[in-house]
């Protein structure tokens, strides 16, 4: 040891609440990103839309696309063969990445200073 003693204090209630809130925000944004990525994959694989799980994922993705990553008004309009698949992969793929980046940034902003994940 260097001769200096350190005082270790227990985290305050506020710090614990902020840590829980940060993890909750990250979890929500992670789920949203994964849903958009899954929807893009389902569209690329031409999954059966009569299946209730496929329909749920596609409806959920449509609800969380923020209008920016919407397939009715895609980021880039493709033409030709597989245009719908390309539009879904680009729009929902960018949406998924955006959710993950924003979620991580918000998690870091909410989390108390110096707190690291185990």
| pLDDT digit string, tens, across residues 15-67 | 899 999 999 999 999 999 999 999 999 999 999 999 999 999 999 999 998 88
Q: pLDDT tens across 56-110, in order?
A: 999 999 999 888 787 777 777 777 887 788 888 889 999 999 999 999 999 999 9
Give the predicted TM-score (pTM) of the model. 0.80
DSSP 82: T
Task: Tell me what pLDDT residue 71 has.
Answer: 74
CA distance 58 to 35: 8
What does the chain come to in residues? 118
Domain ranges of the chain: 14-110
SS (H, E, C) 13-45: HHHHHHHHHHHHHHHHHHHHHHHHHHHHHHHHC
């Amino acid at each position: 040891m260097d001769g200096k003693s350190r005082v270790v204090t227990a985290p305050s209630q506020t710090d614990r609440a902020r840590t829980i809130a940060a993890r909750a925000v990250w979890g929500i944004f992670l789920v949203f990103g994964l849903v958009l990525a899954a929807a893009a994959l389902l569209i690329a694989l031409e999954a059966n839309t009569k299946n209730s799980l496929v329909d749920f994922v596609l409806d959920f993705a449509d609800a969380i696309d923020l209008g920016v990553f919407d397939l009715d008004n895609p980021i880039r309009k493709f033409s030709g063969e597989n245009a719908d698949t390309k539009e879904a992969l680009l729009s929902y793929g960018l949406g998924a990445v955006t959710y993950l980046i924003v979620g991580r940034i918000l998690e870091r902003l909410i989390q108390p200073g110096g707190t690291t994940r185990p």
